[in-house]
Structures are given as structure tokens and as C-alpha cells.
Chains A and B, each alone.
Chain A
Amino acid sequence: GQQLNQSPQSMFIQEGEDVSMNCTSSSIFNTWLWYKQDPGEGPVLLIALYKAGELTSNGRLTAQFGITRKDSFLNISASIPSDVGIYFCAGRRTNAGKSTFGDGTTLTVKP
């Protein structure tokens, strides 16, 4: 089956630092999604990407759809304590298809 490799598994950073995480796959995806999950809550959609090479921002978050269609990146600039949580990437091959999730990146921000 399709698998996504998400890295890093965890990050411990100082408030104010920038963060980068990525997902790679051996298969092509036509949609990449980035979610954030706080403890005890459901994942919240941050950014959706639909075109290879697309670069999309949502506030301090920027995500890119890799040119090869096999990877995606999420950057967070000037991290703040409320950025703490688990970030999941997800890929989808067709519009009606299922999403495949990465294993998540756990972000800890030290004040």
C-alpha cells in the first residue's frame, strides 16, 4: 500500500525559531494536506495543495507541493507556544480517493 514517510518524528525548538518538516512518498499524490492536532482534539486542516510546485501560505505557515509530486514541505516561521502539537501530512491520489496519513511530527516549543 501507499506509505508516507514524515520527518522529523519530533522537534524541540525555542520560541521564535523557524520549523521545517516534510513528507515523502514512493508514489505520486495529486493532493497534499497538512493538519495540526492538539491533545484531545481532532486534526485541523492547515493547508491543502493541489498543483505540483504550488506554494501556499496560511499566516506563519507555508507549505509546498513538490515538483515530483512525491513530497511536500511545511514551514512555520517565528514559532510561538501555541504551535505545540502533532502535525500530520496526508496525500491523496484522486479527488474521491482516500487520504494516506504520515506518522506525524510532534512539535514542542520552549518559551
Chain B
Amino acid sequence: DTEVTQTPKHLVMGMTNKKSLKCEQHMGHRAMYWYKQKAKKPPELMFVYSYEKLSINESVPSRFSPECPNSSLLNLHLHALQPEDSALYLCASRGRLAGGRAVYNEQFFGPGTRLTVL
């Protein structure tokens, strides 16, 4: 299994809802990331987990709450979001993976969850 999976693919939620985004990888990677990406913009780092411990929080508002239950799973809990939080949320893991003819130790991204906050 050489991919990062994310569920759901799409999510629409109201400002009072509580929802969670899920990310999973079975490549044995020990670093996992959450990014937020607005249309036609680069990904913006939100959180980094290293060996299941939160190592970086890029001053993200508390309405976003990450969780790493084990080395394969990463969740992002959402509560009381604002419409401006609508974006593509990307999960990534970092570790060794073949790319072309080379083997890299870099971040590999999941397909993302398209979040719309009404």
C-alpha cells in the first residue's frame, strides 16, 4: 500500500456542526501533516505530527483540533467553522517512497477533502 487516503472526499457543514476529517497511511511513515489549500494557491501548513506527537502548530485557530490515534491515522476535528475555512484540506505523510527511478524521503500527499462551510 503506497498511498495516503483521505475521507470524506467532499464535506458540507454548517457553522454550528462538528465534523472530522480522516487520513490514513500504511507505509510506515512516522511524520504526518495537515495542510489547508485555497483555490489556485499553494498548500499552507497547519499541523505536523512526528511519532504520534504534535510537533508543529502553525498558530491554527482552536476550532481546528488535530488528533493522531496511532502511527497510521490522523484526524482533524472541526467545530464552529467559518465560511472562510472552506478549502481543500490535504493530509501528507513523510517517509521513504519510490518516485520514478529514485527513492525519496519526502512528503506524499493524499487526494484531499473538499470542505464547504455554509
Binding site for B on A (CB under 8 A): 33, 35, 40-48, 56, 58-59, 86, 88, 98-99, 101-104, 106
Contact = CB atoms under 8 A, between A and B. Distances in A.
Main secondary structure of the interface of A (DSSP, over half): strand
A42 to B, nearest CB: 3
Contacts, number: 53
A98 B45 contact: yes
Interface of B is mostly: strand
Interface in B90-118: 90, 92, 99-102, 104, 106-112, 114
23 contacts: A33-B106, A35-B109, A42-B4, A42-B92, A43-B90, A45-B104, A45-B107, A46-B99, A47-B99, A48-B99, A48-B102, A56-B102, A58-B101, A58-B102, A88-B42, A88-B43, A98-B56, A101-B43, A103-B42, A104-B40, A104-B41, A104-B42, A106-B40
Interface string B14-53: 0000000000000000000000000011110100100000
A46, A48, A56, most chain B CB atoms within 10 A? A48
B43 A43 contact: yes
A58 B99 contact: yes
Nearest to A92: B106
Count class of interface residues, chain B: 20 to 34
B10 to A, nearest CB: 10
Given A47-B100, A48-B104, 8 more contacts: A42-B90, A42-B109, A43-B90, A45-B106, A48-B99, A56-B102, A58-B100, A86-B40
A102 B109 CA distance: 17
A71 to B, nearest CB: 17
